Structure 1
Amino acid sequence: MAEDGGAVGLANGEAGSPSDTVQETSWPEDDEVFMTERLSPTVMATFRPGNVEELYELLEKLGSGHFGVVKRCRKRSSGTFYAAKFVKMRKCKGSRLGLDREQVEREVSILQQLEHPNILRLHDLFASKAEMVLILELIRGGELFDFIAEKETLTEAEAIEFLQQLLQGVAYMHGRHVAHFDLKPENIMLLEKDVPNPKIKIIDFGLAQKLEDGVTFKSLCGTPQYIAPEVINYEPLSSATDMWSIGVITYILLSGMSPFQGETDAETLSNVVAGNYEFEEKFFSETTDMAKDFIRQLLVKEPGSRMSAAESLVHPWIKPLSRKQATNRSRSSINMKNFRKFNARRKWKLSYNMVSACNRLCRLKLLCGQRKEDETLRGCESDQEDETTHPVTLLRRRRSSCS
C-alpha cells in the first residue's frame, strides 16, 4: 500500500475469533483464504493514552487503503522518523467498513512481544473508539524479490545471506512460540535498499498466532502456492507450517519457478496436498545439490519431519562444513532470467488484483450508497458471506498494507 518506498506491515485481513468461524477478506481477490478456527487465547495489547499528534508530527501520506492511511511521522522528542498507520475500527459486526478491534489487538499484541532486527518493530500504539494509530518502523527498501530482480547476477552464497536473515527472524519468532502463517515474497522487505548488506524485515502479522501447549489451532488462511498441506487439510498447525513456506520461497528464489503453481487455485492446492514437485534440469542446472537437499528437508508433507528454523540455520548449505561446500555455493548461481520473469508475473498479478479490489469496493460503495439504512442496521448484500460456499472457494489473497 505504501508509496515512494515507504512501507509498513500491519495486515488488512482478519484472523479468526471464537464466535466467527468463516472469515471475510479485506481485499476481495482470487487466491487467498479466509476460514479460521481460533482456539488460542488473546493477549491484550498495550495502548498509550492521549493524542498521537501530541508526541508525533504527522507528515506526508505514504499510502492509503480500504481501512485507513499511512503517513510518515517524526517523533517530537527525538526527531526519529516512523510510519503512522491509521486503522479504522469496524462499527458493527456485519460491516466491511473497518477492521475488527479484537483482530487488530491480537496482531499488535504479538508485535509488542517481538523485538528482533529482522522483524518489523511496533514502537507506539494509540486507540480511540473509531480508530487505532500504530507507530511502526519506517521500511524504505521495498520487497526483497524486487531488489533481487534488479541484479544482473546472484550467486547462491549471496542469496543465502538473505535467507539466513529470514531464518534468524523466524527462529526468533518460533522460540517465542509465535508462528507467522503468511510467509511469502510480499511479506519479506528490506529496511533500506541502497546500503551495504541490506537488512531483511518480516512484516504483516495479520495471520500470526501465539501457539500454546495443548491448544489446537486450525486455519484455512494463506496464499495457495505458499501454504502447507496441513492448512488445506484443515489439520492442526504449528511452527513447521512456516518452514514449508520457506521451502517454497527458496525454490522460487533459486529457479524462478513455483514448485506447486497450477493453472488454477484448485490445481495448485491439489499439487500442494500431493506434494508434487521436481527439480527440472532447465531451471536448476546451476543449483548445488546442497541447495536441493535444503529444499527437500522443508517440503516434507509430515510437519514433524521438516527441519525447524534452528536446524535450517546449521544446514550445510546455510552453514558450510568445509571449504569445498563454501566454494560450491559461491560458484553456483540462481536462474536470474527466469526469476525476473516470475517476479514480473507476480507484480502484474498483485497490480491486477489491486485494481479488481478497488473496482469492487467502488461498486460496493455505490450499492451501499443507494441504501439509507442506519450503519448499525446495514443489510447490504455485498457484505454478506455466502453460507453455502465451499471452503476452497473462500481462497482469496489478503493484501497487506505495504504491498
Structure 2
Amino acid sequence: MGAQAHTFNKQIQSECSILRELDHPCIIRVYDVYDTPDAVYIILELVEGGELFDRIVANGQFDETTSKFLFRQMCLGVKYLHDHSITHRDLKPENVLLTSPDTNETLIKITDFGLSRFINETTLMKTFCGTPNYLAPEVLSTHGEASYTNKVDIWSLGVILYICLVGYPPFSESISGTSLNDQIIKGLYTFPDEFWSEVSEPAKDLIRKMMCVDSTKRLTINDVLEHPWLADDHENTTRVNKIMYPSTVVSTPPTITSAKRSACDDDTSTSEPCTKPTDEKPTESNHSSGRPKRVKH
C-alpha cells in the first residue's frame, strides 16, 4: 500500500470513529469499520423498509399530514448532524430510509452522511454531476470548489419537502430554453395551482424560505423547526416523539432551543423574505415530468 493510500485509509478510520459515536433515532448507526488491503468496509444498521424515493413513487405523493410527519423526522436528524459539525451535502429521497412499510408509522433513517468528508470538493462534484436536482445553487455555481456552509442541506430538504407534497420535482430538464443547472442557480421554481391548490400557505412559505438562492437569507435548521408549519402542529410533534422514543410518550411538545452552532454554520437568518416564485400555471413542458425520476449514477 502506498503512502498516500495509507494516509487516506487512516483518515477514513479517524472519521468513522467519530461517526460511530453518533446516536440519534433518525440517523443510521455506523457499527464498525474494517480496513482491508483492497477496500474499507463500513458496517451500517440494517433498515428494511426501503427508500423514501420508492415510497413516493409508489404513492404518487403524500398528503400534508404524512409529509409533515416524515419531514419533521428528517429535520431532527439533520439538526443532530449539524450540531455535531457534519454537513450531509447529498440529502435526497434515496438517502432517507424507512423502517416500516406503513408510511404513517415509520421511523426514518438518514444515511450516507459524513462520507463526503472523505473526498475533496472536485471529486464530490464529479460524483454529483449527474444528479444536481437536490444541490444548492452555491454548490452548482462554483462547481463545488468554493467553501459553503451547512445551509446546502436546508436547500436539499426544501426540495425533498416539495416532492413529498406534490410528487414531482421543482426543477425539470423538460423546461425548454433553461438548463436544469440554470433553473437551480436562479431559483426558477413555481407552485402551480393545478398541483398546489390543496397545500397550505405555511407549507409553501417554508419551502420558499428553505429554497432561497441567497444562502445568507436561507433558514438554518433551527429556524426550520421553529417555523409555524412545524412548530404549531403539536399533534405531529407528539407523533414524531412517540415514533422516535416509543418508551417515552411526550404529551407536550418540547421547546426547540438554539444549539451552539458549529464553525461551518455562521450564517444568520434574516426576516427579509426571499423573492417568491409566482404561483403560475405550468406549461405543458413544465409539468410533464410528473413524478420524480430516479437519476442514474
Tell whether the structures are fold-level matches, with TM greater than 0.5: yes
> Who is 2:238 aligned against?
none
- Check conservation: 1:171, 1:309, Cα contact below 8 A: yes
2:185 aligned to which of 273, 282, 287 = 273
1:238 aligned to which of 121, 126, 149 = 149
Unaligned residue ranges in structure 1 (runs of 5+): 1-90, 211-216, 324-337, 354-396, 398-403
Pick the structure with more helix per residue.
2
Alpha-carbon distance, 1:184 to partner: 0.6
Distance across 2 between alignment mates of 1:106 and 1:249: 31
RMSD of the alignment, in Å? 3.3
Distance across 2 between alignment mates of 1:156 and 1:105: 41
Matches within 5 A, 1:1-400: 101=9, 104-105=12-13, 108-151=16-59, 154-194=62-102, 197-205=105-113, 207-209=115-117, 220=125, 222=128, 223-234=131-142, 235-263=146-174, 267-320=179-232, 341-343=290-292, 345-346=293-294, 350=295, 353=296, 397=297
1:249–1:321 distance in 2 versus 1, CA, 3 Å: closer
Distance across 1 between alignment mates of 2:87 and 2:206: 21
Distance across 1 between alignment mates of 2:136 and 2:110: 19
Alpha-carbon distance, 1:155 to partner: 2.5
- Check conservation: 2:29, 2:45, Cα contact below 8 A: yes
In the TM superposition, what whole-angstrom CA distance separates every residue of 1:294-326 from its partner, at most 9, and x where no partner exists? 100001111121111111112111122799xxx
1:255–1:152 distance in 2 versus 1, CA, 3 Å: closer
Query: What amino acid is aligned across from residue 177 of structure 1 in structure 2?
Result: S
In the TM superposition, what whole-angstrom CA distance separates every residue of 1:251-294 from its partner, at most 9, and x where no partner exists? 11112221122249x81111111111111111211111011001
Query: What amino acid is aligned across from residue 342 of structure 1 in structure 2?
Result: R
Query: What amino acid is aligned across from residue 275 of structure 1 in structure 2?
Result: G
TM-score by length of 1: 0.51
In the TM superposition, what whole-angstrom CA distance separates every residue of 1:18-64 from its partner, at most 9, and x where no partner exists? xxxxxxxxxxxxxxxxxxxxxxxxxxxxxxxxxxxxxxxxxxxxxxx
Structure having greater relative contact order (Cα 8 Å, sep ≥ 6): 1
Unaligned residue ranges in structure 2 (runs of 5+): 236-286
1:168–1:158 distance in 2 versus 1, CA, 3 Å: same
Pick the structure with more strand per residue.
1
1:160–1:93 distance in 2 versus 1, CA, 3 Å: farther
Percent identical pairs in the alignment equals 34
Alpha-carbon distance, 1:200 to partner: 0.4
1:232–1:148 distance in 2 versus 1, CA, 3 Å: closer
User: Could you say what secondary structure the match of 2:72 adopts?
Assistant: helix
Alpha-carbon distance, 1:199 to partner: 0.6
> Who is 2:273 aligned against?
none
User: Could you say what secondary structure the match of 2:291 adopts?
Assistant: helix
> Who is 1:367 aligned against?
none
1:194–1:161 distance in 2 versus 1, CA, 3 Å: closer
Count of aligned pairs between the two proteins: 233
Report which of the two structures shows the higher radius of gyration computed on alpha carbons.
1
In the TM superposition, what whole-angstrom CA distance separates every residue of 1:327-381 from its partner, at most 9, and x where no partner exists? xxxxxxxxxxx9x9514x32xxx5xx3xxxxxxxxxxxxxxxxxxxxxxxxxxxx
Query: What amino acid is aligned across from residue 232 of structure 2 in structure 1?
Result: P
- Check conservation: 2:98, 2:109, Cα contact below 8 A: yes
Distance across 2 between alignment mates of 1:162 and 1:169: 11
